[in-house]
Amino acid sequence: MRIRTRLTAWYLAIFSLVMLLYVCGACVVQYWQLTDQLFHEEVEDMETVEGLLYFTPSGQLELNESYHSRPENKLIIDRLMEVRGSDGAVLFRNPQLKGAALGGLPRPGEFTDGHTSWTLRLEDGRHVLGVSHRHPVEGKMLFLRVAYSTDPLRRRVVTLFGLLMLVLPLALIPAGIAGYHFAGKILNPLKAMARRTEQITARRLSSRIPVENPDDELGHMARVLNGLLQRLEESFAQLQRFTSDVSHELRTPLTSIRSVGEVGLQRSHSHEEYRDIIGSMLEEVARLTSMIDTLLTIAHADSGAIRLDRTVFPIMDLVDESVNVVGVLAEDKGQSLVVKGDRGISVHADRGFLRMAVINLLDNAVKYSPAGGTIRVVVEARTMASPRDAVYLAIQDEGPGIPAGVAERVFDRFYRLDEGRARDAGGAGLGLAIAKWSVEAHGGEIKLESTPGLGSTFSVQLPVTAETASAG
């Protein structure tokens, strides 16, 4: 069932319920008004009757009916009347009662100076509304009861209820049409949003849904959808850049392998020359394998499939291992690696992934520092403004530095300041991206401070956890 139809059905159901409550309320009010009117008429009739009672010479109580000019008066015909003496004995009953009692013996508090109303169901099933009052006649205190049947009132209210219920379905027809029309007007912006969304394809992700009223629910939905489109557009653009970069990076070593192989097949070579050719091809294969492994690591990280195996260990041990790995490259360039830090500092982290981050940062420093330069590594504990302290690791190089405008992009995948120089150095532009992910996966933060011509400093801050604090 369409939303418009459901809204109309709900509107009609609520409208019908409200109208039914209104009809019931109107009938109740009508019945109350009729009974109130009947009560006042009974009080007036009681005052009239009290003046018409008299005792005959034999002591019999009678009612002077000749007072009424028209005995067929409705009040006279329907009047039910009973008079009792002070001892409770029945002194008078009119014929309309047909011998039935009108309430029995006087009840406590029934007969006072005022008029007391009450309801009663007679033995023959009639419902009556009565009035009680005491009144002296010829020196004797009498207890009078005058009542009238409420059955005519009930029939009148039931008739009114039936008429209103007959009119109710007729009122639902225009109400349903109006509700269906207004539901359509309310849903028209939603239809427009749906049509606009259907026109958005992978090639038109820059399109946005217009927001007519940002403060209502539809405006909120439009903002949410626009935010989703914005994220999709950014993801598609990132995916396209990633695909393009991967294709480019895979093409370079494959082309190199092919070129070396074709040159080797052009003529015969000595045993040593073949070894050099195969060695060059294996270098490119190793580079290609390393890049594929890195891409797999990034893919697993993006999908959330990687789970950190945290342990507590001294961070200086990890720094020493990383320096030993990168030290060979530094020696080839005549560079010095200076490590300074507190060996009592421990971290709660995944040793393998954190080691990968430190090696990538050291490798980056070695690549971009000049021959004979010095690379400094500092490890210390710092008290931060936040509730937790942090372990601080800084790697400072003497490279050319990074311009401020591109400092944030160095952590992007495949980003390189100097394409030719980076590729010659064997970089694919993934090391810093891996380092950033590893640090952030541990709840830490990585920053870059660089001055063109004076070198760069990559700093890592790792939070001190409860496990680390207890170990320390």
pTM of the model: 0.51
Rounded distance, CA 214 to CA 333, Å? 61
Q: Tell me: domain 309-471, CATH 3.40.50.720, correct? A: no
pLDDT digits 0-9 by tens, 273-319 = 888 888 888 877 877 787 777 777 777 766 666 788 899 999 999 99
For residue 427, what are its two tokens? 């970089």
**All residues at 6 or more sequence positions from 459 whose CB lies less than 8 Å from its CB, including other chains:** 392, 393, 394, 395, 446, 447, 448, 449
Residue ranges of the chain that CATH labels 1.10.287.130: 217-301
pLDDT score recorded for residue 208: 84
pLDDT score recorded for residue 427: 55
Confidence tier at 74 by pLDDT (50, 70, 90): very low
pLDDT score recorded for residue 378: 94
Q: What number of other Cβ atoms are within 10 A of residue 106's Cβ?
A: 15
Q: Which residues of 42-70 are buried (b: 16+ CB within 10 A; e: fewer)?
A: bbebbeebbeebeeeeeeebeeeeeeeee
Rounded distance, CA 287 to CA 274, Å? 20
Q: Which amino acid would we find at residue 234? A: E
Residue 168 near residue 151, CB atoms below 8 Å? no
Residue ranges of the chain that CATH labels 3.30.565.10: 309-471
> Residue 70 pLDDT > 50, yes or no?
no
Confidence tier at 466 by pLDDT (50, 70, 90): low
Q: What is the largest CA-CA distance in the chain?
A: 164
* Mean pLDDT score across all residues of the chain: 83
Rounded distance, CA 75 to CA 35, Å? 15
pLDDT score recorded for residue 183: 86
**All residues at 6 or more sequence positions from 430 whose CB lies less than 8 Å from its CB, including other chains:** 291, 294, 295, 298, 413, 414
Strand partners, 310: 350
What is the topology classification, in CATH, of domain 217-301?
Helix Hairpins (1.10.287)
Residue 386 phi/psi, 5-degree rounding, is: -75, 170
Of 54, 108, 103, the residue nearest 81 (C-alpha) = 103
For residue 118, what are its two tokens? 């009450």
CATH code of the domain occupying 3-155: 3.30.450
Confidence tier at 29 by pLDDT (50, 70, 90): very high
pLDDT score recorded for residue 469: 53
From the CA atom positions of the chain, what is the Rg in Å?
51
pLDDT digits 0-9 by tens, 135-185 = 999 889 999 999 999 999 999 999 999 999 988 888 888 988 998 888 888
Residue ranges of the chain that CATH labels 3.30.450: 3-155
Host H or E run for residue 329: helix 315-332
